[in-house]
Structure 1
Amino acid sequence: MKSTPTRLRRACVAAAAASVLLAPAAAGSAYGATAPPPSASAAPSAPSPSPGTGSDFPRLTPAVAAQLDAAVRQVMRETGVPGVTVGLWAPGKGSYVKSFGVADKATGAPMKPDLHMRIGSETKTFTVTALLQLVDQGKIGLDDPIGTYITGVPNGDRITLRQLAGMRSGLFNYSEDPGFIKRYQADPSQAFTPQQLLAYSFKNPVQFQPGAEFDYSNTNLILLGLVIEKITGRPLHEVIQKDVVEPAGLHHTLFPTSPEIPDPHAQGYTNQTASGRTVDSTGWNPSWGWAAGEMISDLQDLRSWAHTLATGTLLKPATQAERLKTTPMNLPGDGYGLGIFNVQGWIGHNGSIPGYEVLPVYLPEARATMVILLNTDSQTNGQEPSTLLGQAVTQIVTPDHVYPGHKPLDPKPS
């Protein structure tokens, strides 16, 4: 169970640190309690590109494809990732879509681009989008205290919805609570309610005063999910399906209400067990992630969603501008907005949940999209496999925008 506390946190974590989110996450793997305090300044209201121009993105020729093939296979050899699908698309530059390895270690069935996968903390982008739609409708305000809607929240009279969405609430991350971890590991098939998850958080002291620091916490999204349900009078899964997924034109994305995953799907593998042994976690109940990490999608839907999310087509321009104002995370040039990150110019979020990781991101200056899906979340030397794959790919296609930086992040202590 050495790394489980951090991993469970990141399973919904995202890339706050690009390994985040746990990091989900980088988002699915943002690193956590040890993230540096934010500066007072916010990023511009639109995605700010790093140095370089869109013309730097290479034409995706057979020669470049061969480089990508070799890089992905090398990471797979070094990390033991069973299967991965990588997609790259850029206007005028072509596309690269390829699957490697196996979707099922027992049968040897190959990984394919059309498989459903759990998306972990990428769920946060859908939940926060639903929240921001309510802002657009004038039903809530970003600077409303959470206590206006939900009682019993520590510092609830001072923590705002904006601070929750931006990971600056100071609330303890329930998925790092030892009691939660012990209960979850004892029976990964069990269901958790949002109220049970919050109870694990609220029995711990707050980490800092509202707005004082950045700290990736799944607790924040559970609260936002409850706000959405209270204001709309509908279950969160229905709100996200009807108000976000369908308007976005996504056909293979869902917020499940059971542990089942639609066919076709990849089997997922994790070492988030008490013994550290790798097991098939495909049927584990994702309810513990709820608004922070429960959803399912596939390659083409995540390609479309990465663009929708980064460009804000479901929101008013002013609201999208608020979303894209970022607080610094762990590396220069990285920032976290409202349920979204900017990592070296790539806009989006990553996701990790036992057995699966995804990395769907968009580079505005090149209008390029990268989506990586894999059927494990087992780390190598403290690094999320999706982060290592994202780095390997971007070192080839966008050397001025390497995700998450020019070298792997040093692992943070659990």
Structure 2
Amino acid sequence: MGRYRPSHARRSTRAAIPAVAAVLLAALCAGTTPDRAVASARQDLDPATVGKLDAAITKIMDEAHVPGLNVGLWIPRRGTYEKSFGVADTKTGTPMKSDLYTRIGSITKTFTVTGVLQLVDAGKVALDDPISRYVTGVPGGDSITLRQLAGMRSGLFNYTEDKAWLARLRADPHRAYTPRELLDIAFSHPPNFAPGTKWQYSNTNTVLLGMMIEKVSGQNLGDYLEEHVFAPLKLNDTSLPDNSAIPDPHAHGYTDFTPDDSVADATNWNPSWGWAAGAAISDLDDLHTWAPALANGTLLTEETQAERMKTRSVGVPGAAYGLGILDFNGWLGHNGELPGYESIAAQLPAEDATLVVLINTDIDYKGENLSSMIGNAVTSIVTPDHVWPVPPARPSAAPSGPTDPSTPSSGGGPGTAPAR
């Protein structure tokens, strides 16, 4: 699968970002939270807008006890807002910085589906091919197309909603899973609906697409994405790992997805259960490059990008889903979540704006997803005609991790599913 690049290869432009504040020595879930220190910043938006953004972000961090986050907003005709808040490690107080590696959850799906669409452009597969042509043992696989898998319309059960499996993952988050083991979990349940008749977010879909890529290309998925997606765009700090390691320097991730709901450091938990659907690693700068490339179809033909962008409503006002891409009120991209981390990478073509949000916790605030709260706050101020929505709050009895905020119910899907 994917290989990491050494940290010394990181682009020198990041080293020029000045440190402007001291370390924030706040505990993750302290009863009170001091003012959030800004660890690093680069900005040239007008001062009034900067002040509003600072206030909105720090208010959410204080209320929700968020340890740290990176946020980047780039609008060429208006300016840049790129800041790191809080800490990357609550034990040492190491400040958050914009060049830290982080896990990005379901943003991984945008890379995997792009890989599928590149195979379409190469004439090696067709969107309306049945998945049974490439992967055996799929219930109803003769009637489920690659297009339906990429568009979340296959009807296949989402393996990350299997309650017994969720309990096992809570108890042993370091266990490695193979893609076939994940499919076995999914296929132990009947399909939820006939292919193509409804929309429902399911990590099973993207795992199948990853297996298809490996079958057709003859490469491990991580290596395929490195060669065909990451390298062409010089995404030097993005990878799909084949183990639980995360390169240095990185942000630690904090979760309450534990047997007793206590807070744990999930940094080195094994993400193999997310694989093609949620196991990638990246950083702020690479996602700044990726979001517009994804929205513009940089790596695809115009015809294939047009197929990707045939979106369908997902039941949330202003939200629609295409082929591995989300449209939230004009913002094109994806969000992501897995234990310890949340993320957004999106492009707003109407204003040539790029938004990236990276947070090192997935612990909900009053049932609400943190990255969506930050995305909503930022876009409400800067692009009020195109606001990133906050999905309905998850039920208080449901754990914050792992679920998927792209789904229409609860900000996390219809249960307690990981790889958001």
Tell me, yes or no, whether TM beats 0.5: yes
Q: Which runs of 5+ in 1 are unaligned?
A: 1-58
Listed as ranges, the matches of 1:152-163 within 5 Å are 152-163=137-148
Mean CA deviation greater in 125-134 or 71-80: 71-80
Check whether the contact 2:244–2:269 (CA below 8 A) recurs between aligned residues: yes
Mean CA deviation greater in 292-301 or 327-336: 327-336
C-alpha distance in 2 between matches for 1:210 and 1:111: 44
Indicate the residue corresponding to 2:293 in structure 1. 308
C-alpha distance in 1 between matches for 2:241 and 2:319: 31
Indicate the residue corresponding to 1:253 in structure 2. 238
Indicate the residue corresponding to 1:53 in structure 2. none
Indicate the residue corresponding to 1:230 in structure 2. 215
Q: Tell me the TM-score normalised to structure 2 length.
A: 0.83
C-alpha distance in 2 between matches for 1:82 and 1:280: 12
Indicate the residue corresponding to 1:372 in structure 2. 357
For residues 339-368 of structure 1, give each alpha carbon's deviation from its aligned partner in whole angstroms, at most 9, with x where no partner exists.
001001000001111111110110001100
Check whether the contact 2:84–2:97 (CA below 8 A) recurs between aligned residues: yes
Once the two structures are TM-superposed, the CA of residue 69 in structure 1 deviates from its matched residue by 0.4
For residues 75-98 of structure 1, give each alpha carbon's deviation from its aligned partner in whole angstroms, at most 9, with x where no partner exists.
111211110111010112110111
Q: What is the letter of the counterpart of residue 329 of structure 1?
A: V
For residues 298-331 of structure 1, give each alpha carbon's deviation from its aligned partner in whole angstroms, at most 9, with x where no partner exists.
0000000001000001000000000011010122
Indicate the residue corresponding to 1:93 in structure 2. 78
After superposition, the CA RMSD in angstroms is 1.1
Once the two structures are TM-superposed, the CA of residue 184 in structure 1 deviates from its matched residue by 1.3
For residues 40-75 of structure 1, give each alpha carbon's deviation from its aligned partner in whole angstroms, at most 9, with x where no partner exists.
xxxxxxxxxxxxxxxxxxx82122111100000011
Structure 2 counterpart of 1:291, from 276, 289, 292: 276
Q: Does 1:130 align with 2:115?
A: yes
Q: What is the letter of the counterpart of residue 91 of structure 2?
A: A
Q: Tell me the TM-score normalised to structure 1 length.
A: 0.84
Once the two structures are TM-superposed, the CA of residue 150 in structure 1 deviates from its matched residue by 1.1
Q: Secondary structure at the match of 1:99?
A: strand
Indicate the residue corresponding to 1:141 in structure 2. 126
For residues 221-257 of structure 1, give each alpha carbon's deviation from its aligned partner in whole angstroms, at most 9, with x where no partner exists.
1100000000001110100011110011211111111
Structure 1 counterpart of 2:166, from 181, 187, 190: 181
Once the two structures are TM-superposed, the CA of residue 333 in structure 1 deviates from its matched residue by 2.6
Q: Secondary structure at the match of 2:291?
A: helix
Runs of 4+ in structure 1 displaced over 2 angstroms? 330-333, 408-414
Indicate the residue corresponding to 1:205 in structure 2. 190
Indicate the residue corresponding to 1:330 in structure 2. 315
For residues 127-158 of structure 1, give each alpha carbon's deviation from its aligned partner in whole angstroms, at most 9, with x where no partner exists.
00000000000000000111111111111010
Check whether the contact 2:369–2:393 (CA below 8 A) recurs between aligned residues: no
Q: Secondary structure at the match of 1:67?
A: helix
Structure 1 counterpart of 2:88, from 100, 103, 107: 103
C-alpha distance in 1 between matches for 2:260 and 2:199: 32
Once the two structures are TM-superposed, the CA of residue 99 in structure 1 deviates from its matched residue by 0.9
Indicate the residue corresponding to 1:116 in structure 2. 101
Q: Does 1:409 align with 2:389?
A: no
Structure 2 counterpart of 1:83, from 56, 68, 75: 68
Count of matched residue positions in the alignment of Structure 1 and Structure 2: 354
Q: Does 1:270 align with 2:255?
A: yes
Q: What is the letter of the counterpart of residue 384 of structure 2?
A: P
For residues 151-191 of structure 1, give each alpha carbon's deviation from its aligned partner in whole angstroms, at most 9, with x where no partner exists.
11111010100000000000000011122112212211110
Check whether the contact 2:144–2:154 (CA below 8 A) recurs between aligned residues: yes
Q: Does 1:341 align with 2:329?
A: no
Q: Secondary structure at the match of 1:377?
A: coil
C-alpha distance in 1 between matches for 2:51 and 2:97: 18
C-alpha distance in 2 between matches for 1:75 and 1:364: 27
Once the two structures are TM-superposed, the CA of residue 383 in structure 1 deviates from its matched residue by 1.5
C-alpha distance in 1 between matches for 2:291 and 2:225: 16
C-alpha distance in 2 between matches for 1:81 and 1:160: 41
Check whether the contact 1:328–1:334 (CA below 8 A) recurs between aligned residues: yes
Indicate the residue corresponding to 2:202 in structure 1. 217
Q: What is the letter of the counterpart of residue 122 of structure 2?
A: Q
Check whether the contact 1:179–1:200 (CA below 8 A) recurs between aligned residues: no
Structure 2 counterpart of 1:63, from 25, 33, 48: 48
Identical-residue share of aligned pairs (%): 56
Indicate the residue corresponding to 1:73 in structure 2. 58
Q: What is the letter of the counterpart of residue 359 of structure 1?
A: I
C-alpha distance in 1 between matches for 2:315 and 2:61: 26
Once the two structures are TM-superposed, the CA of residue 381 in structure 1 deviates from its matched residue by 2.3
Check whether the contact 1:175–1:218 (CA below 8 A) recurs between aligned residues: yes
